[in-house]
Structure 1
Amino acid sequence: MTTPPTGVPEKDFAEELEFLAAYDDGPRPPGWVLTPRAVVTFVCGSSEPLSLPAGAKRKGLTPRMAVSGKFVGDRALIERCVVTLAGERGLMLVGEPGTAKSMLSELLSAAICGTSALVVQGTAGTTEDQLRYGWNYALLLAKGPTPEALVASPVLTAMRTGAVARVEEITRCLPEVQDSLVSVLSDRRMSVPELTTEHAHTIAAQPGFAVLATANLRDRGVNEMSSALKRRFNFEVIPPIADAQAETELVRRQASAAVARSGAQFSVDDAVLDALVTVFRDLRTGRSDEGWAVERPTAVMSTAEAVAVATSIGLAQAYLANSAGDPLEYLPGNLFGVVHKDEAADAERLIGYWDSAVRRRAEAGHRMWRSLWDLREKLER
């Protein structure tokens, strides 16, 4: 029986990570689980099956393996990310919402240090303690400010172990919270002045420590990063997926994994996925493949949202099969849920898309688009 994916890369791809560790015994930066070259292969995949060197074969380890591609994008971009982290410099992944920045940060950290769990989720409520340290107040009252009473943040834990600390959506944090990372990135030390003189009050980062942050371009101006903090990061822009076929395959893979985690089997056919991705790409770019102009909604029509819709359809097919009928029936309602988040006018833009691109494709004789056109009334409910 196949184990459902957990969504944790170091667990889901443990066999690949173990294989790559044995496959490439080249030089590794201090504290790294894999070589930089193997990290790139883990993220981008191998074009053909790889074979372990004769001296690296181990009992229970597959001698030959094709490493799956997990991120759809430019290999050169991944190489730059890996080189940045190998140099122990901060890495900032920026882009539109839903361009798999978080997924890429998880994959990189899992391959580099073996864990993607050292993460701080940036929000308006994130405090400086969550990026630095806090206290166990029971121990603090009983013994005073001792190392045992210190509660390490994921960043401090990464410093102590030489791992990668992830900070998601850093621009959602208040500026004074963001700037608590300046000294960490500059001096690679964290001061804990509350500790008594008999204890070391400065914690130095172990080799391999790095900070990997993400930020959405749509959050620009919410809590703008200071120039001092920006200078301590290398910025890489993660663009939307350019190739429609690659995006469709990614949506299928991610939705299949999400449905499998619920204990069901993904059974949405290719025609439905093609229609789903086509609609998202048309609305995202404001132009169809045929060259027709489309009014873009203000809502984010990202690949991540497409995965969420495909997952919803897959779950409906799995659990409501007796009443589901054609899976296309679920597409209009789920699309409406995506666009109707920020502006009420986006619902009218979606109906306008149905009345233009969907109708024209239906009139051209495309059976699937004819079925979608017949479902237009579901948008008006």
Structure 2
Amino acid sequence: MTDTADLLRPHAEQAFADELAALAAVDDRPRPPAWRLSPWAVVTYLLGGTLADGTVVSPKYVGPRRLVEVAVATLATDRALLLLGVPGTAKTWVSEHLAAAVSGRSTLVVQGTSGTGEDAIRYGWNYARLLAEGPTQAAVVPSPVMTAMREASIARVEELTRIPSDVQDALITILSEKSLPVPELGAEVQAAKGFNVIATANDRDRGVNELSSALRRRFNTVVLPLPGTAAEEVDIVTRRVAQLGRALELPPVPAAAEEIARVVTVFRELRSGRTEDGRTAVKTPSGTMSTAEAISVVTSGLALAAHFGDGVLRPADVAAGIVGAVVKDPSSDTVAWTEYLEAVVRERRDWADFYRACREVTA
């Protein structure tokens, strides 16, 4: 078995196995059928806390507690869960950790794209066996959803609205009847207690492949908001960069605190169209300026600092990443970014190095 220390990106149940085990050991509350933890323990795993035995559970998600409680309570019913939000609101991250805490397995995933076919949700065939033996149980290739139904686990469907509408609707019978017909065999797979589905969708994708009203009724929708305050967003970025940095053996995050706060400030101001003090309106670029992109900018900057600098994150290390995140459309975004640099960044005395670094890499 591979040591998780050798993995670039361990699954949630691998990376936080000790925390999950500690929670299970002290968790004496009622658990729904097939759940590894009680709903209370799942929420504690997501939001963090200190257990009775002194074990510290790190927060995986920073946001309103009630939203997480609603999401977990939904999974304990016969309703599926839809996590909705703009890009970078940790939908996939929350989905993975919910599945890990509930089922101990987060890897039963259908990745939604425009090319996702119905077999990714229902089942496929081993065509060599199908030709040799005809339609038999041994020739069936189960989808992650079918496997989750059999194993009483959580199945995850990422980017649901990117899946073609007729393929999306393959979920309707599964979610309403809790069964998956296999007409070629004259059989069906019935879901074991503990099965459920977590889907994610980007609410900027409306109009791509909108959910049918029949399918939407099968979900309880929880909208994940952007971080409410700059401090929350800095905390999220710092935690995720620290986790990624350890895996990549990059400089420690404390050395990056000042630049993380600066990156978050830039992203929040451009995202909202106004400076922190509310005095200056700024043009909003076409990109999402998400927390996930801020994490990427800082991580890339740390790599530059580690391999081409002195290991301390400086303005020059994050400048190119910020420009790349902001300028998605060269014609309009370059104008918005340049105006922001001149009207806002240039006027901040303690941002002089950052201003010069950004001007050097701005076309």
Tell me which of 222, 239, 242 is aligned to 1:256.
242
- Counterpart residue number, 2:11: 8
- 1:270 equivalent to 2:271? Answer no
User: Which whole-Å deviations, capped at 9, do the CAs of 1:102-124 have from their partners, x for residues lacking one?
Assistant: 10001101000001101111000
4+ aligned runs moved over 4 Å, structure 1: none
- In 2, Cα distance between the equivalents of 1:72 and 1:148? 45
**What amino acid is the match of 2:42?**
V
- In 2, Cα distance between the equivalents of 1:262 and 1:238? 29
> After alignment, is 283-292 or 117-126 more displaced?
283-292
TM-superposed deviation, 1:2: 10
User: Which whole-Å deviations, capped at 9, do the CAs of 1:34-62 have from their partners, x for residues lacking one?
Assistant: 0000000000111xx3224xxxxxxxxxx
Tell me which of 151, 161, 166 is aligned to 2:156.
166
- 1:188 equivalent to 2:185? Answer no
TM-superposed deviation, 1:320: 1.6
Tell me which of 179, 183, 193 is aligned to 1:207.
193
Give the alignment of 1:47-86 within 5 angstroms. Answer: 49-52=50-53, 64-86=54-76
% identical aligned pairs: 46
Does the C-alpha gap of structure 1 residues 359 and 183 become closer, same or farther in structure 2, counting only changes over 3 Å?
same
Native 8 Å contact 1:88 1:208 kept in 2: no
- Counterpart residue number, 1:140: 130
User: Which whole-Å deviations, capped at 9, do the CAs of 1:245-265 have from their partners, x for residues lacking one?
Assistant: 121121112122223222333
- In 1, Cα distance between the equivalents of 2:313 and 2:33? 54
> After alignment, is 123-132 or 134-143 more displaced?
134-143
- In 2, Cα distance between the equivalents of 1:342 and 1:376? 17
TM-superposed deviation, 1:130: 0.4
- In 1, Cα distance between the equivalents of 2:251 and 2:12? 20
- Counterpart residue number, 1:299: 287
- Counterpart residue number, 1:288: 275
- Stretches of structure 1 that go unaligned for 5 or more consecutive residues are 53-63
- In 2, Cα distance between the equivalents of 1:7 and 1:370? 39
- Stretches of structure 2 that go unaligned for 5 or more consecutive residues are none
- In 1, Cα distance between the equivalents of 2:312 and 2:104? 44
Native 8 Å contact 1:298 1:343 kept in 2: no
User: What is the DSSP-based 3-state SS (H/G/I as helix, E as strand, rest coil) of the residue aligned with 1:124?
Assistant: coil
Native 8 Å contact 2:250 2:303 kept in 1: yes
Tell me which of 351, 358, 365 is aligned to 2:338.
351
- Figure out how many residues of one structure are paired with residues of the other and give that number: 358
Does the C-alpha gap of structure 1 residues 155 and 75 become closer, same or farther in structure 2, counting only changes over 3 Å?
same
Native 8 Å contact 1:298 1:342 kept in 2: yes
> After alignment, is 259-268 or 101-110 more displaced?
259-268
TM-score after normalising by structure 2 = 0.94
**What amino acid is the match of 1:226?**
S
- In 2, Cα distance between the equivalents of 1:78 and 1:342? 35
- In 2, Cα distance between the equivalents of 1:266 and 1:326? 10
- Counterpart residue number, 2:317: 330
> After alignment, is 11-20 or 258-267 more displaced?
258-267
User: Which whole-Å deviations, capped at 9, do the CAs of 1:202-241 have from their partners, x for residues lacking one?
Assistant: 1100001001001001101111110000000001110000
Does the C-alpha gap of structure 1 residues 326 and 26 become closer, same or farther in structure 2, counting only changes over 3 Å?
closer
- In 1, Cα distance between the equivalents of 2:293 and 2:252? 17
